[in-house]
């Protein structure tokens, strides 16, 4: 009875929602299959921003041994929910990092292996910010179509970034898995999924290639096992050793020779008995034999499988009603219809590479995408010749000059964008390309120099290429092994260090000129620099490869950028971003990973444009 009371007290302590709908109208809006208009969108936004402000301080980074993930604090006394595959097993030391920089110690407790959930207890003294957890007494049970919010630490804990906020909808739900289109990535594992009352309803567990296959362990699955998890137990119980467990024919927790069938099994037992001098007809426990064999703990295997996105269950949310589905995006069309006149499709060598934002004096677009013959396609189908007028490499912006001047868009004054607030990316046809929410406040996006994509001999008297990495700018330009680099950007070089010193000033996407000696003759190459992680760490970094989709070549090293969770293609960058008031609040500048698109804030855009206009005035004076 005492255990039941303890478990009940924990559940009751977690039950109070962070936010309640103000009236019946708000409840009806949140329960609609699709939002009808801007007023419905505004109600969803207001709920999301309230929840985001309250849950961010409780979303923590978790480290257990070499496992890094996320978690959420669910009681003031310091109980933390995370993923079982992050916690690994009961009794391990854990480090918990809060978004404000506070770092505390903890200990892993029990876990629910079927739903991939685990508890950690903060062992340092203190009262901790926390959020409630949904309970079996709450109504209704999370269901397809419900709006939801995800937080966590994708890519790992970053002290310069608050836990990114992502908005989505529940697609499927059963007793062991919730599927949503809230984008999550490596490092998010163990982070919380919230309902629109701010209650934890799931723990991030797995992702698949499709951006709409994001899997979470339902918190309601843990309700029957709260006490076992608090007591450090694994639920459902897993055997000490899966191999030895198969030898326990009579299922009494120990192995005897007489219970084993004649042949291989008895021979195996005899070898164990001889090796470890086993005696006694009563047999030996699996734990004892495991210890004698010196087998280390093997974490439970989690049988959470990705849903088939092409064949969801009959009760799944229709694709058109996903957060970025056609029916939901329709509600935003009144906000983007007029903006299309000030958007162009930027084409290089007759292939779309970016969008452009028409402003007074030309078209702003993403500079590192530009090469070859440039044209701009307008909303009404005209194709206009364009040339590069000005470039700002710091923000990766270029101002294109057109053969015909178009009407420029009005750049609003700086507007406050709350975390969780809607951000819309309009398209050339007047409809949104994608929608999302403001995930992280504007901040510095750190970066590294671009790379050629070669390995250079460490001999300090020459810069000879010993390897050219596939899919690198060097490979595409035609560099080969045994080429000796003798000049970069008109500067003579004779060592790896001298090449690196020059490249330190250039970023991914920029084109550098290099001269190499090949078979005794000098040959010049123009090489587009790449991202270090794309070329040298292609299979090792967080959230790598096909799970991220296509990413922008230059996607870091911005002094100021907003992060939102809209899902774009790299060629969709360069166009404007609007808020629910229809104001232009920024320009998309990079698709960074599965969960992040960066946009330059409107005040940054205006400052860069002012600089371009000053340069143009200076040129005309000459």
For the chain, give the percent of residues with pLDDT over 90: 65
DSSP three-state, residue 454: strand
Weakest mean pLDDT among 48-52, 238-242, 243-247, 605-609: 238-242
Q: How far is CA 29 from CA 320, 330, 578, in A?
A: 18, 16, 22
Weakest mean pLDDT among 257-261, 327-331, 383-387, 432-436: 257-261
Q: Are strands 351-359 and 362-366 parallel, antiparallel or unpaired?
A: antiparallel
Q: How many CA atoms lie within 13 A of 323 on its CB side?
A: 30
Q: Give the DSSP per-residue string, 264-325.
A: HHHHHHHHHHHHHT---TT-EEHHHHHHHHTPPP-PPP---PPP-TTS--TTSPPGGGSTTS
pLDDT mean over 406-410: 84
Spatial CB neighbours of 342, under 8 Å, sequence gap ≥ 6: 357, 358, 359, 406, 407, 408, 409, 576
Weakest mean pLDDT among 286-295, 366-375, 450-459: 286-295
pLDDT at 194: 97
pLDDT at 311: 47
DSSP letter assigned to residue 59: E
Beta bridge partners, 120, equal 80, 108
pLDDT at 538: 58
What band does 3 get if pLDDT is binned at 50, 70 and 90? very low
Q: Render pLDDT for 39-81 as a digit per residue (tens, 0 to 9).
A: 999 999 999 999 999 999 999 999 999 999 999 999 999 999 9
DSSP letter assigned to residue 588: E
DSSP letter assigned to residue 410: P
Torsion angles phi and psi, residue 618, rounded to 5:
-65, -40
Element containing residue 497 per DSSP (H, E): helix 496-503
Element containing residue 118 per DSSP (H, E): strand 117-122
pLDDT at 539: 47
Q: Among 234, 228, 186, 230, which residue's Cα sits nearest to residue 207?
A: 186
Structural contact between residues 209 and 87, judged by C-beta atoms closer than 8 angstroms: no
Residue 236 scores a pLDDT above 90? no
pLDDT mean over 241-267: 75
Q: Is the dihedral of CA 151, 153, 154, 160 positive or negative?
A: positive
Average pLDDT score, the chain? 87
Q: Helix, strand, coil: what percent of the chain each, to 5?
A: 25, 30, 45
Most confident of 80-94, 240-254, 311-325: 80-94
What band does 621 get if pLDDT is binned at 50, 70 and 90? low
Weakest mean pLDDT among 13-22, 32-41, 121-130, 537-546: 537-546
pLDDT at 223: 81
Instruction: Name the maximum alpha-carbon separation found in the chain.
Output: 103
Q: How many residues does the chain have?
A: 622
Spatial CB neighbours of 165, under 8 Å, sequence gap ≥ 6: 48, 52, 56, 149, 150, 151, 419, 420, 437, 438, 439, 440, 565
Preceding omega of 236 cis (within 30 degrees of 0):
yes
Spatial CB neighbours of 135, under 8 Å, sequence gap ≥ 6: 11, 12, 14, 15, 220, 223
Torsion angles phi and psi, residue 117, rounded to 5:
-120, 155
Walk me through the domains of the chain, giving residue ranges and CATH numbers: 2-230 (2.40.10.120), 240-293 (no CATH), 332-445+551-621 (2.40.10.120), 454-530 (2.30.42.10)
Q: Render pLDDT for 511-563 as a digit per residue (tens, 0 to 9).
A: 999 999 999 899 999 999 999 888 887 544 434 456 788 899 999 999 999 99
Gap between the Cα atoms of 15 and 35, Å rounded = 28
Q: Among 147, 156, 155, which residue's Cα sits nearest to residue 193?
A: 147
pLDDT mean over 367-389: 95
Residue 572 scores a pLDDT above 50? yes
Beta bridge partners, 392, equal 397
Weakest mean pLDDT among 58-72, 226-240, 360-374: 226-240
Structural contact between residues 412 and 438, judged by C-beta atoms closer than 8 angstroms: no
Weakest mean pLDDT among 82-96, 343-357, 410-424: 410-424
pLDDT mean over 188-199: 96
DSSP three-state, residue 80: strand
Instruction: Note the pTM of the prediction, 2 decimals.
Output: 0.84
Residue 593 φ/ψ region, left for φ over 0, alpha for ψ in the -120 to 50 degree band, beta for the rest: beta
């Amino acid at each position: 009875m005492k255990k039941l009371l303890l478990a009940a007290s924990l559940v009751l302590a977690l039950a109070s929602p962070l936010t309640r709908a103000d009236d019946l109208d708000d409840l009806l809006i949140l329960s609609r299959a699709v939002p009808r208009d801007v007023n419905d969108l505004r109600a969803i936004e207001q709920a999301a921003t309230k929840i985001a402000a309250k849950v961010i301080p409780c979303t923590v980074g978790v480290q257990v041994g070499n496992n890094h993930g996320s978690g959420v604090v669910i009681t003031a006394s310091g109980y933390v929910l995370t993923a079982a595959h992050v916690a690994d097993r009961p009794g391990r030391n854990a480090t918990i990092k809060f978004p404000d920089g506070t770092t505390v110690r903890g200990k892993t407790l029990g876990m629910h292996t079927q739903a991939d959930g685990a508890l950690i207890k903060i062992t340092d003294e203190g009262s901790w910010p926390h959020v409630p957890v949904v309970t079996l007494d709450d109504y209704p049970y999370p269901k397809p179509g419900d709006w939801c919010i995800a937080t966590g630490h994708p890519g790992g804990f970053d002290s310069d970034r608050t836990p990114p906020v992502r908005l989505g909808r529940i697609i499927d739900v059963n007793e062991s898995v919730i599927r949503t289109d809230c984008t999550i990535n490596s490092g998010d594992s163990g982070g919380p999924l919230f309902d629109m009352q701010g209650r934890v309803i799931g723990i991030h567990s797995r992702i698949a290639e499709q951006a709409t296959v994001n899997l979470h362990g339902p918190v309601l699955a843990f309700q029957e096992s709260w006490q076992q998890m608090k007591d450090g137990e694994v639920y459902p119980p897993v055997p000490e050793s899966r191999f030895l467990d198969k030898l326990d024919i009579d299922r009494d927790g120990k192995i005897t020779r007489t219970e084993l069938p004649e042949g291989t099994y008895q021979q195996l037992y005899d070898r164990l008995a001889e090796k470890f001098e086993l005696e006694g007809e009563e047999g030996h426990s699996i734990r004892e034999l495991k210890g004698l064999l010196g087998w280390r703990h093997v974490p439970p295997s989690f049988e959470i499988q990705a849903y088939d996105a092409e064949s969801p269950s009959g009760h799944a949310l229709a694709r058109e009603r996903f957060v970025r589905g056609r029916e939901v995006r329709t509600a935003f069309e009144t906000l983007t219809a007029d903006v299309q006149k000030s958007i162009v499709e930027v084409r290089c060598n007759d292939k779309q590479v970016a969008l452009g934002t028409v402003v007074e004096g030309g078209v702003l677009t993403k500079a590192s995408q530009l090469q070859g013959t440039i044209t701009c396609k307008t909303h009404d189908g005209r194709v206009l010749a364009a040339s590069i007028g000005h470039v700002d490499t710091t923000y990766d912006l270029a101002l294109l000059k057109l053969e015909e001047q178009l009407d420029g868009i009005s750049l609003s004054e700086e507007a406050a964008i709350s975390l969780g607030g809607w951000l819309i990316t309009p398209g050339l046809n007047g409809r949104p390309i994608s929608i999302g929410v403001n995930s992280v406040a504007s901040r510095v996006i750190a970066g590294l120099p671009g790379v050629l994509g070669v390995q250079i001999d460490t001999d300090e008297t020459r810069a000879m290429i010993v390897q050219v990495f596939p899919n690198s700018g060097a490979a595409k330009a035609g560099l080969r092994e045994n080429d000796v680099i003798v000049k970069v950007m008109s500067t003579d070089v004779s060592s790896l260090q001298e090449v690196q010193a020059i490249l330190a000033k250039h970023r991914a996407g920029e084109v550098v000129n290099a001269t190499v000696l090949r078979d005794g003759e000098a040959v010049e190459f123009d090489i587009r620099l790449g991202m270090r992680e794309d070329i040298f760490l292609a299979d090792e970094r967080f959230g790598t490869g096909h799970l991220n989709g296509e990413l922008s070549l230059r996607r870091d090293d911005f002094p100021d950028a907003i992060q939102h969770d809209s899902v774009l293609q790299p060629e969709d960058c360069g166009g404007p971003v609007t808020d629910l008031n229809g104001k232009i609040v920024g320009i998309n500048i990079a698709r960074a990973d599965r969960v992040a698109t960066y946009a330059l804030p409107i005040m940054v855009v205006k400052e860069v444009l002012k600089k371009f206009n000053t340069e143009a005035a200076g040129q005309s004076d000459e």
